[in-house]
Protein backbone atom coordinates (compact mmCIF):
# COMPACT_ATOMS: atom_id res chain seq x y z
CA UNK A 1 0.00 0.00 0.00
CA UNK A 2 1.27 3.45 -0.95
CA UNK A 3 -0.08 6.00 1.56
CA UNK A 4 0.75 9.06 -0.55
CA UNK A 5 1.19 8.55 -4.28
CA UNK A 6 3.88 10.66 -5.89
CA UNK A 7 5.23 10.87 -9.46
CA UNK A 8 8.24 8.81 -8.39
CA UNK A 9 5.91 5.85 -7.72
CA UNK A 10 4.99 5.49 -11.40
CA UNK A 11 6.19 2.34 -13.11
CA UNK A 12 5.58 -1.39 -13.43
CA UNK A 13 4.56 -3.41 -10.36
CA UNK A 14 4.66 -7.21 -10.36
CA UNK A 15 2.80 -9.45 -7.91
CA UNK A 16 4.06 -13.04 -7.66
CA UNK A 17 2.46 -16.09 -6.07
CA UNK A 18 3.57 -19.73 -5.83
CA UNK A 19 0.85 -22.40 -6.04
CA UNK A 20 0.90 -26.21 -5.83
CA UNK A 21 -0.85 -28.20 -8.59
CA UNK A 22 -0.47 -31.97 -8.90
CA UNK A 23 2.52 -31.92 -6.53
CA UNK A 24 4.32 -29.37 -8.72
CA UNK A 25 5.07 -25.77 -7.81
CA UNK A 26 4.16 -23.06 -10.32
CA UNK A 27 4.79 -19.34 -10.14
CA UNK A 28 1.95 -16.97 -11.02
CA UNK A 29 2.68 -13.33 -11.68
CA UNK A 30 0.62 -10.28 -12.56
CA UNK A 31 2.07 -7.04 -13.88
CA UNK A 32 0.35 -3.67 -13.43
CA UNK A 33 1.24 -0.31 -14.90
CA UNK A 34 0.88 2.61 -12.52
CA UNK A 35 0.59 6.05 -14.11
CA UNK A 36 0.75 9.09 -11.86
CA UNK A 37 -0.79 12.28 -13.17
CA UNK A 38 0.65 15.53 -11.86
CA UNK A 39 -1.88 17.91 -10.32
CA UNK A 40 -1.10 21.25 -11.87
CA UNK A 41 -2.72 24.57 -11.14
CA UNK A 42 -4.57 26.41 -13.85
CA UNK A 43 -1.94 28.06 -16.05
CA UNK A 44 -1.87 31.83 -16.07
CA UNK A 45 -0.07 32.07 -19.36
CA UNK A 46 -1.75 33.10 -22.56
CA UNK A 47 -3.54 30.72 -24.87
CA UNK A 48 -0.72 30.91 -27.36
CA UNK A 49 1.82 29.83 -24.77
CA UNK A 50 -0.39 26.99 -23.53
CA UNK A 51 -1.00 25.70 -27.04
CA UNK A 52 2.71 25.76 -27.75
CA UNK A 53 3.49 23.72 -24.61
CA UNK A 54 0.88 21.10 -25.48
CA UNK A 55 2.29 20.84 -28.98
CA UNK A 56 5.80 20.23 -27.70
CA UNK A 57 4.57 17.56 -25.25
CA UNK A 58 2.59 15.73 -27.91
CA UNK A 59 5.53 15.76 -30.28
CA UNK A 60 7.86 14.40 -27.61
CA UNK A 61 5.45 11.59 -26.64
CA UNK A 62 4.94 10.54 -30.25
CA UNK A 63 8.67 10.48 -30.88
CA UNK A 64 9.30 8.25 -27.84
CA UNK A 65 6.59 5.72 -28.80
CA UNK A 66 7.79 5.65 -32.39
CA UNK A 67 11.27 4.51 -31.34
CA UNK A 68 9.92 1.52 -29.38
CA UNK A 69 9.53 -1.63 -31.46
CA UNK A 70 6.40 -3.73 -30.93
CA UNK A 71 6.78 -7.23 -29.47
CA UNK A 72 6.88 -10.27 -31.75
CA UNK A 73 5.19 -13.54 -30.77
CA UNK A 74 7.26 -16.48 -32.04
CA UNK A 75 5.27 -19.29 -30.42
CA UNK A 76 2.58 -20.41 -30.79
CA UNK A 77 1.96 -19.60 -34.43
CA UNK A 78 -1.36 -18.23 -35.60
CA UNK A 79 -3.76 -21.12 -36.16
CA UNK A 80 -1.92 -23.60 -33.92
CA UNK A 81 -4.04 -26.49 -32.63
CA UNK A 82 -3.25 -27.99 -29.23
CA UNK A 83 -4.51 -31.58 -29.04
CA UNK A 84 -5.11 -33.43 -25.80
CA UNK A 85 -7.09 -36.45 -24.69
CA UNK A 86 -10.08 -36.33 -22.38
CA UNK A 87 -9.13 -36.10 -18.70
CA UNK A 88 -5.46 -35.26 -19.29
CA UNK A 89 -3.67 -32.00 -18.57
CA UNK A 90 -2.41 -29.48 -21.11
CA UNK A 91 0.49 -27.04 -20.80
CA UNK A 92 1.04 -24.27 -23.36
CA UNK A 93 3.79 -21.69 -23.73
CA UNK A 94 3.66 -18.20 -25.22
CA UNK A 95 7.09 -16.95 -26.29
CA UNK A 96 7.59 -13.28 -27.17
CA UNK A 97 10.66 -11.45 -28.45
CA UNK A 98 11.17 -7.81 -27.53
CA UNK A 99 13.92 -5.33 -26.80
CA UNK A 100 15.57 -5.91 -23.45
CA UNK A 101 14.98 -2.29 -22.41
CA UNK A 102 11.22 -2.78 -22.77
CA UNK A 103 11.02 -6.38 -21.50
CA UNK A 104 9.78 -5.39 -18.03
CA UNK A 105 7.12 -3.07 -19.46
CA UNK A 106 5.90 -5.58 -22.07
CA UNK A 107 2.64 -7.20 -21.00
CA UNK A 108 2.04 -10.81 -22.05
CA UNK A 109 -1.28 -12.46 -21.24
CA UNK A 110 -3.46 -15.40 -22.26
CA UNK A 111 -7.12 -15.04 -23.20
CA UNK A 112 -9.88 -17.64 -23.47
CA UNK A 113 -12.67 -16.81 -25.93
CA UNK A 114 -11.67 -13.11 -25.82
CA UNK A 115 -11.83 -13.09 -22.02
CA UNK A 116 -9.14 -13.15 -19.38
CA UNK A 117 -8.36 -16.56 -17.94
CA UNK A 118 -9.70 -15.51 -14.54
CA UNK A 119 -13.09 -14.45 -15.94
CA UNK A 120 -13.50 -17.32 -18.43
CA UNK A 121 -15.23 -20.65 -17.89
CA UNK A 122 -11.76 -22.19 -17.43
CA UNK A 123 -11.03 -20.11 -14.34
CA UNK A 124 -11.29 -23.13 -12.01
CA UNK A 125 -9.19 -25.44 -14.16
CA UNK A 126 -6.69 -23.11 -15.83
CA UNK A 127 -3.78 -21.10 -14.49
CA UNK A 128 -1.41 -18.73 -16.24
CA UNK A 129 1.92 -17.67 -14.82
CA UNK A 130 5.56 -18.64 -14.61
CA UNK A 131 6.71 -15.56 -16.53
CA UNK A 132 10.37 -15.88 -17.43
CA UNK A 133 12.62 -13.38 -19.20
CA UNK A 134 15.81 -14.63 -20.85
CA UNK A 135 18.29 -12.90 -23.12
CA UNK A 136 18.55 -14.29 -26.66
CA UNK A 137 21.35 -12.71 -28.67
CA UNK A 138 20.56 -8.97 -28.87
CA UNK A 139 16.92 -9.25 -27.74
CA UNK A 140 15.03 -10.72 -24.80
CA UNK A 141 12.49 -13.53 -24.78
CA UNK A 142 9.46 -13.50 -22.51
CA UNK A 143 7.77 -16.82 -21.80
CA UNK A 144 4.37 -17.21 -20.15
CA UNK A 145 2.66 -20.52 -19.39
CA UNK A 146 -0.98 -21.52 -19.53
CA UNK A 147 -1.80 -24.74 -17.68
CA UNK A 148 -5.15 -26.53 -17.88
CA UNK A 149 -5.38 -29.14 -15.14
CA UNK A 150 -7.93 -31.36 -16.91
CA UNK A 151 -9.35 -31.31 -20.43
CA UNK A 152 -13.08 -31.98 -20.85
CA UNK A 153 -15.45 -32.24 -23.81
CA UNK A 154 -16.54 -28.61 -23.50
CA UNK A 155 -12.96 -27.50 -24.20
CA UNK A 156 -13.08 -28.85 -27.76
CA UNK A 157 -12.60 -26.02 -30.31
CA UNK A 158 -12.06 -23.45 -27.54
CA UNK A 159 -10.26 -20.35 -28.85
CA UNK A 160 -7.24 -19.16 -26.91
CA UNK A 161 -5.09 -16.11 -27.58
CA UNK A 162 -1.63 -14.99 -26.60
CA UNK A 163 -1.49 -11.20 -26.43
CA UNK A 164 1.69 -9.12 -26.17
CA UNK A 165 1.69 -5.33 -25.85
CA UNK A 166 4.06 -2.48 -25.09
CA UNK A 167 4.45 1.19 -26.00
CA UNK A 168 5.44 0.23 -29.54
CA UNK A 169 2.32 -1.75 -30.38
CA UNK A 170 0.30 -4.90 -29.84
CA UNK A 171 0.33 -8.39 -31.34
CA UNK A 172 -1.85 -11.42 -30.74
CA UNK A 173 -2.04 -14.96 -32.08
CA UNK A 174 -5.08 -17.22 -32.11
CA UNK A 175 -4.92 -20.95 -31.35
CA UNK A 176 -7.47 -23.65 -30.57
CA UNK A 177 -7.83 -26.63 -28.28
CA UNK A 178 -8.85 -29.89 -29.94
CA UNK A 179 -10.00 -33.00 -28.13
CA UNK A 180 -8.31 -36.14 -29.45
CA UNK A 181 -10.64 -38.78 -30.91
CA UNK A 182 -10.53 -41.70 -28.49
CA UNK A 183 -12.01 -44.14 -31.06
CA UNK A 184 -9.08 -43.67 -33.43
CA UNK A 185 -6.62 -44.37 -30.62
CA UNK A 186 -8.40 -47.59 -29.66
CA UNK A 187 -8.52 -48.75 -33.30
CA UNK A 188 -4.76 -48.28 -33.64
CA UNK A 189 -4.07 -50.12 -30.38
CA UNK A 190 -6.38 -52.99 -31.39
CA UNK A 191 -4.73 -53.30 -34.82
CA UNK A 192 -1.24 -53.50 -33.30
CA UNK A 193 -2.39 -56.08 -30.73
CA UNK A 194 -4.05 -58.22 -33.42
CA UNK A 195 -0.91 -58.13 -35.57
CA UNK A 196 1.27 -59.28 -32.66
CA UNK A 197 -1.20 -62.08 -31.86
CA UNK A 198 -1.18 -63.36 -35.45
CA UNK A 199 2.62 -63.38 -35.53
CA UNK A 200 2.80 -65.44 -32.32
CA UNK A 201 0.18 -67.92 -33.58
CA UNK A 202 1.97 -68.31 -36.92
CA UNK A 203 5.28 -69.09 -35.23
CA UNK A 204 3.58 -71.64 -32.95
CA UNK A 205 1.90 -73.43 -35.88
CA UNK A 206 5.12 -73.59 -37.88
CA UNK A 207 6.99 -75.16 -34.97
CA UNK A 208 4.13 -77.59 -34.18
CA UNK A 209 3.53 -78.93 -37.69
CA UNK A 210 7.07 -78.81 -39.02
CA UNK A 211 7.76 -82.23 -40.67
CA UNK A 212 10.55 -84.36 -39.11
CA UNK A 213 13.47 -85.23 -41.32
CA UNK A 214 13.45 -88.89 -42.27
CA UNK A 215 16.47 -90.76 -41.21
CA UNK A 216 18.44 -92.02 -44.12
CA UNK A 217 18.75 -95.78 -44.36
CA UNK A 218 22.29 -97.07 -43.91
CA UNK A 219 23.78 -99.17 -46.70
CA UNK A 220 24.75 -102.76 -45.75
CA UNK A 221 26.30 -105.85 -47.35
CA UNK A 222 25.47 -109.53 -46.87
CA UNK A 223 28.30 -111.89 -46.09
CA UNK A 224 28.56 -115.55 -45.15
CA UNK A 225 29.77 -116.63 -41.77
CA UNK A 226 33.52 -117.29 -41.58
CA UNK A 227 34.02 -115.60 -44.93
CA UNK A 228 36.28 -112.74 -45.76
CA UNK A 229 35.20 -109.49 -47.32
CA UNK A 230 37.15 -106.60 -48.64
CA UNK A 231 36.05 -103.26 -50.08
- Is residue 150 classed as helix, strand or coil in its secondary structure? coil
What's the rounded mean pLDDT across residues 152-170?
90
pLDDT at residue 51 greater than cutoff 80: no
Strand residue runs (E) in the chain: 11-21, 24-34, 72-75, 81-84, 90-98, 107-112, 115-116, 126-136, 139-148, 158-166, 169-179
CATH code, domain with 100: 2.60.40.10
19: in domain: no
Q: According to the model, what pLDDT value does residue 185 have? A: 60
In-domain check, residue 81: yes
For range 105-120, the mean pLDDT: 91
217 vs 23, higher pLDDT? 23
Structural domain including 155 reads 70-179
| Residue 124 located in a structural domain | yes
Instruction: State the pLDDT confidence band at 56, using cuts at 50, 70 and 90.
Output: very low
The per-residue pLDDT for range 5-14, each reduced to its tens digit, is 767 667 767 7
Q: What are 200-221's pLDDT values in tens digits?
A: 888 878 877 776 555 455 555 5
- Asked whether residue 122 is domain-assigned, the answer is yes
Q: How many domains does the chain have?
A: 1
pLDDT at 188 over 50: yes
- The answer as to whether 129 is a domain residue is yes
> Does residue 229 belong to any structural domain of this protein?
no
Between 152 and 63, where is the model more confident? 152
Q: Which residue has the higher pLDDT, 29 or 139?
A: 139
Distance CA 8, CA 43 (A): 23
| Range with the poorest average pLDDT among 93-97, 107-111, 128-132, 138-142 | 128-132
pLDDT of the residue at 109: 92
Is 51 among the domain residues?
no
The reported pLDDT for the residue numbered 43 is 41
Query: Is 219 part of any domain?
Result: no
Q: What are phi and psi of 190, to 5 degrees?
A: -65, -40
* pLDDT over threshold 50, residue 54: no
Amino acid sequence: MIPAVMPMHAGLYTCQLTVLINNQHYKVSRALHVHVQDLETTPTTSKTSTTSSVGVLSSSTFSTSKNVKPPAIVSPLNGTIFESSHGSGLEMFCQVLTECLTADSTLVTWQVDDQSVESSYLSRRALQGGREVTRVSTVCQIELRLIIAEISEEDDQTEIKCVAQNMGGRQEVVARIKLEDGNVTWVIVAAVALFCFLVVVSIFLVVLFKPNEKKKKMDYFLARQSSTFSV
